[in-house]
A and B are shown apart, each in its own frame.
Chain A
Amino acid sequence: MAETHSLQDLRHQAAVIAKVFIQRDYTNGTLCQFQTKFPSELETKIDKQQFEETVRTLNNLYAEAEKLGSQSYVEGCLACLTAYTIFLCMETHYEKVLKKIAKYIQEQNDKVYAPRGLLLTDPLERGLRVIEITIFEDRSLTQ
């Protein structure tokens, strides 16, 4: 009757009930942003505030990745001058932020979502189209 699950337990033993997909929000153009609307399937599973907080943080991180600022311009110009060979040795700013996002999702999964029987999938694995939230069957793991 254990309510809490660890991330490993979820992945290996629990059965998937359903998947919820958070679609992209294009109201600000082609920037990568996700809708913060709380899906009805998650109503019993997680706090609305918590969910919105996660999505908002992800949106901010993606905005940071695609930000047009002096840093990105310098990087772009430098890359052009070195005929883009500079990317053989260093990561682009975008890639660095994507790594940050992956870490954040992992952390959220461990702390917030897995204990509630949910699992966030990194949108990068879905082509930045959706945030996939897998809902696992809430059953005892003491088999």
Chain B
Amino acid sequence: MHLGESTRECEYSQISTRSSTPMETPYKKKTPKKRKWETFPGRNRFYCDGRIMMAKQTGVFYLTLVLILVTCGLFFTFDCWFLAEQLTPIIPVIGAVLFLFVIGTLLRTSFSDPGVLPRATPDEAADLERQIDVANGSTGYRPPPRTKEVVINGQTVKLKYCFTCKIFRPPRASHCSLCDNCVERFDHHCPWVGNCVGKRNYRFFYMFILSLSFLTVFIFAFVITHIILNSQRIGFLSALKDSPASVLEVVVCFFSVWSIVGLSGFHTYLISSNQTTNEDIKGSWSSKRSKDNYNPYSYGNIFTNCCAALCGPLPPSLIDRRGFIQSDAPQLAPPTNGLPMYGSTQSQQSHKCDQDQCIQSTKFVLQVATTPLLQQQQSSEPVILSPENGASLPGRASLALGGPCTSLPLGQPTPPASTPSLSCHEATDLLPIHGHPHNHSHPLQEQLAHHHFLTPEEVPSPPGMLHCGSPLGHSHTMQGSFYNPASQDSLHEDSVRGLVKLSSV
């Protein structure tokens, strides 16, 4: 309670359950600004503060790197001296150039964004759902897989709806299950480079395998030359004993040549016909499917196809990894800050929010139990801690904490017309957005004033919070009797929120 503000008229107004962090009171806690990569929903790993982006499993990438480094290292250490003396010093120079090019393109392929499509914002997802429901007539519990057909250059292409990213995938995009992202012009997920290969890094990938084929053939050829030249002088076996590293190099290169050169050839074919590995494997444009089947993306001739793939414009990354999360938009607060609240973009919501909800709920139960304010705030109805009223909530554990949290389908929507397949994010998506975007510098009163106009069904809430008719109405009544939270201390506000949350569990 602020004694200093006792002269101010106390206003009875609703608490905004949809404001940003609970700590957004006069005691503004300074939280460090987060970059967008820190709340990225996919299964990627980021390094160097978001500059580097890789897949989750990078073991094989390190193997690739080690193989290349070790083989080249051995080549330069043991074979190059001989070859430079006996033949020409240009050989190590060419070798070095090839080696640097290989490493450069490998790192570029592995570390760059392959063309990940950011997930739909809740508003977009809601809009799409509305359109689909209108089209389908909303029959059945779970709607059939959603597709849209579009005619591209005379070919009918089916656009599939991605349930994870909540978008209709553009043509040639595909969802990578390993990285859990939709990637534009998805080629394949390459464990050797530890990343997906898509629109933005395909040329680097191609350059990598092409240069690696040259390097492999180069090393193979010159190591053999070295051994042969040496054995002419001192005999075959002694030549082998003289440089045992060469044997290792030959073995590695021999096996690599078949796979790498084969792969380069395959991708050269793909580039010249402007197909992706994905399309080729599925036989999307194969003439075996039907006589009229042709690739609508091909430019007609090999040269243009190659130029387009390798020298065409490089689109920038769409996910803005290093951008800061906007503070004026309602966002997901970091777990340590209190209740994670409703986020304005999908990308800011993660699996973590489910667990944090449960943990925070417990905290507030404990806090609430010890505050004497509890009596004050109670309206006529007691806090209800059990599921209420009709809306079926499969798998809902009341306050069961720990493990079950992450598997809970949180935030089942209230409106009976909606399908339960909607996730927690979409519970609020069906609602028209009020007071959005918010600005923190805005006086709290104004935000609260907005919420006066909201009906109980329309109060947006954090993910995991239920909209059941009665508990919400119940919490509504409770809120109606509260003081302006700006004049309360933050614990009070938190415990209130906790109560509101608990009441809807």
Residues of A in contact with B, size category = 35 or more
Does the CB pair A127–B319 fall under 8 Å? yes
A19-B127, A26-B157 are known contacts. Are A84 and B108 too (CB-CB below 8 A)? yes
A16-B434, A17-B432, A83-B104 are known contacts. Are A73 and B152 too (CB-CB below 8 A)? no
Residues of chain A within 8 A (CB-CB) of B297 are 29-30
Residues of chain A within 8 A (CB-CB) of B185 are 30
Give the segment of A44-52, A53-61, A91-99, A105-113 that binds chain B: A91-99
Contact of A12 among B128, B152, B296, B442 (CB under 8 A): B442
Q: How far is the CB of A99 from chain B (nearest CB, A)?
A: 11
- At the interface, yes or no: B466 with Cβ under 8 Å from chain A? no
Does the CB pair B313–A65 fall under 8 Å? yes
CA distance A11 to B120 in the complex (A): 22
A16-B436, A68-B308, A127-B117 are known contacts. Are A21 and B127 too (CB-CB below 8 A)? yes
Does the CB pair B153–A29 fall under 8 Å? yes
Residues of chain A within 8 A (CB-CB) of B315 are 66, 94
Q: How far is the CB of A138 from chain B (nearest CB, A)?
A: 15
Contact of A132 among B117, B124, B152, B184 (CB under 8 A): B124
Contact of B311 among A26, A80, A98, A129 (CB under 8 A): A80
Q: How far is the CB of A47 from chain B (nearest CB, A)?
A: 23
- At the interface, yes or no: A77 with Cβ under 8 Å from chain B? yes
Does the CB pair B151–A68 fall under 8 Å? no
Residues of chain B within 8 A (CB-CB) of A76 are 307, 310-314
- At the interface, yes or no: B461 with Cβ under 8 Å from chain A? no
Give the segment of B50-58, B167-175, B367-375, B484-492 that binds chain A: B167-175
- At the interface, yes or no: A27 with Cβ under 8 Å from chain B? yes
- At the interface, yes or no: A141 with Cβ under 8 Å from chain B? no
Residues of chain B within 8 A (CB-CB) of A23 are 168
Does the CB pair A15–B311 fall under 8 Å? no
Q: How far is the CB of A90 from chain B (nearest CB, A)?
A: 12
Does the CB pair B304–A68 fall under 8 Å? yes
CA distance A127 to B152 in the complex (A): 21
B residues 96-111 touching A (CB-CB < 8 Å): 100-101, 104-105, 108
Residues of chain A within 8 A (CB-CB) of B171 are 26, 29-30
A-B contact number at CB 8 A: 110
Does the CB pair B172–A30 fall under 8 Å? yes
CA distance A133 to B444 in the complex (A): 26
Does the CB pair A92–B316 fall under 8 Å? yes
B residues 449-482 touching A (CB-CB < 8 Å): 450
Does the CB pair A72–B319 fall under 8 Å? no
Q: How far is the CB of B12 from chain A (nearest CB, A)?
A: 20
Best-buried of B108, B307, B319 by chain A (most CB within 10 Å): B307
Residues of chain A within 8 A (CB-CB) of B312 are 66, 68, 72-73, 76
Residues of chain A within 8 A (CB-CB) of B450 are 15
- At the interface, yes or no: B439 with Cβ under 8 Å from chain A? yes
Residues of chain A within 8 A (CB-CB) of B433 are 16, 18-19
Residues of chain B within 8 A (CB-CB) of A95 are 316
Q: How far is the CB of B20 from chain A (nearest CB, A)?
A: 16
Residues of chain A within 8 A (CB-CB) of B104 are 83-84
Residues of chain B within 8 A (CB-CB) of A126 are 118, 121, 124
Does the CB pair A93–B313 fall under 8 Å? yes
Residues of chain B within 8 A (CB-CB) of A116 are none
B residues 150-196 touching A (CB-CB < 8 Å): 150-153, 157, 159, 167-168, 170-172, 184-185
A18-B432, A80-B207 are known contacts. Are A94 and B124 too (CB-CB below 8 A)? no
Does the CB pair B123–A132 fall under 8 Å? yes
Residues of chain B within 8 A (CB-CB) of A67 are 313
Does the CB pair B435–A15 fall under 8 Å? yes
CA distance A84 to B117 in the complex (A): 23
- At the interface, yes or no: A42 with Cβ under 8 Å from chain B? no
- At the interface, yes or no: A130 with Cβ under 8 Å from chain B? yes
CA distance A132 to B121 in the complex (A): 11
A65-B313, A72-B312 are known contacts. Are A26 and B124 too (CB-CB below 8 A)? no
Q: How far is the CB of A78 from chain B (nearest CB, A)?
A: 9
- At the interface, yes or no: B32 with Cβ under 8 Å from chain A? no
Residues of chain A within 8 A (CB-CB) of B437 are 11, 16
A-B contact list, 15 entries, CB within 8 Å: A11-B437, A15-B434, A19-B127, A26-B150, A27-B152, A67-B313, A68-B313, A83-B100, A83-B101, A83-B104, A83-B105, A94-B313, A94-B315, A95-B316, A126-B118
Given contacts A76-B314, A80-B207, A83-B101, 17 further A-B contacts (CB under 8 A): A11-B437, A18-B432, A27-B150, A27-B152, A28-B152, A29-B297, A30-B171, A30-B297, A66-B313, A75-B313, A76-B311, A84-B104, A126-B118, A128-B318, A129-B117, A129-B167, A130-B124
